[in-house]
Amino acid sequence: MNKIMVKFPNYTIGENVLKDLGNTVKKYGQRVLIVGGRKALEMTQREIEITLQENRIDIIDFHWYGGECTKKNIDMAAEKAQQTAADIIIGVGGGKAIDTAKGAAQRVGLPVITIPTIAATCAATTALSIVYTEQGSFDFLFHLSEPPVHIFMDSHVIANAPTKYLWAGIGDTIAKYYEVGVTTRGKKLCHSASMAKELSSMCAFPLIEYGVKALSDSENKVSSFELEQIILNNIISTGIVAMLVGDENNGAAAHGLFYGLTLLEEIEKHHLHGEVVGYGVLVLLVMDEQKEEFERLYPFYKQAKLPTCLSDIDVKDDRMYLESVLEKAVNAPDMLKMPYKVTKDMLFNAIQDLEKLNK
């Protein structure tokens, strides 16, 4: 039997939790490079400076990650960490900023702490960076040897972020439950994958229960119980499931379709990862003929105003227009994890059937 080793991050959630950051950072060293998005750094820089200064930790720099998680930006952050003798990297911001920080830490063998300022993906938790080309389309998956050592989720900061990120995160999180369901179907699962399959229900049912209230609270900049449940499920539950379930069961048609759709300029410019993946979940359910699950999920999508048709994500309903998208989608690594071969015709027909269900 192959050796299996599973590592999870520690995490802290609540209002004003960044004050505890210094106590955690000093366990790993005295010199820290902070990599993040511009807005995220503006929002958190003062609190980070105070807690690190109180613990006599040297801040090398607040380094802008470059605007996209590309190989070039990962290498630039890694080079800076290496040249300045950093002991640890902190990633601050959304998924792309955090993935850049994680990738840089992997390149130079350093631990990484993550501070998500939005709850749009599970990037803050996972041992994986999604790398894009300079043009903004999907490039490759960068598998990391370890996940972040600690995640700090300040619910006050996330409550004050634009609601669209929490909203998109719900779509991405729901995908985990349905994708794990199809990729593990009919398989003899090991202990960790079995745990992931059971835990994956946390990626759907609490969101259906608390999602609409959490979105309303986010609009009103209120840190509530419901909001924190969605934050935890978007960031923690999804990430832990991803790490437990194994690469061969992680991702399926919803993410495969997303990677195909990244070829379209309007997707990359105007729509969020989880928003598009959430649409892909409905396509998956239609293609897989999961009628009961579709009927459970569709009303929630309408309540939460998640996308249910092509026009919701500004995509034309035209086979020729979608041909390159379909080609890339059916050959995406995640699509190949489906329990059956997905052809371009199958995928297009499912998209068409979903269009009809919206009329």
Q: Is 273 annotated as a binding residue?
A: yes
Task: Write down how long the chain is.
Answer: 359
* Direct distance between the N- and C-terminal alpha carbons of the chain, in angstroms, rounded to an integer: 52
Identify the H or E element spanning 12: strand 10-14
User: In the structure encoding, which two tokens stand for residue 251, read together?
Assistant: 């991702």
Contact 358, 279 (CB under 8 A): no
The answer to whether the annotation marks 98 as part of a ligand binding site is yes
Contact (CB, 8 A) for 33 and 5: no
- Cα(257)–Cα(167) distance, rounded to whole angstroms? 19
172 is in an annotated binding site: yes
Q: Residue 359 carries which DSSP code?
A: -
**Is 270 annotated among the ligand-binding residues?**
no
Side-chain half-sphere of 253: how many Cα atoms within 13 Å? Answer: 26
Binding residue per annotation — 87?
A: no
| Distance of alpha carbon 81 from alpha carbon 88, whole angstroms | 8
Identify whether the C-beta of residue 267 lies closer than 8 Å to the C-beta of residue 261.
yes
The CA-based dihedral angle spanning residues 239, 159, 301, 254, taken in that order and rounded to the nearest 10 degrees: -30
210 in Cβ contact with 229 (< 8 Å):
yes
121 in Cβ contact with 169 (< 8 Å):
yes
Give me the phi and psi of 297, to 5 degrees please. -85, -35
Q: What is the C-alpha separation between 202 and 199, in angstroms, rounded? A: 6
**Nearest-angstrom CA–CA distance, 157 and 153:** 8
Residue 82 tokens read as: 């290496």
239 labeled part of a ligand binding site: no
Query: Residue 128 annotated as binding?
Result: yes
Q: Nearest to residue 120, comparing CAs of 251, 275, 8?
A: 275
- Give the Cα separation of 97 and 95 in Å (integer): 6
Residue numbers in the known binding site are 95-99, 126, 128, 132, 172, 255, 273
Residue numbers in the known binding site for NAD(+) are 95-99, 126, 128, 132
Residue numbers in the known binding site for glycerol are 172, 255, 273
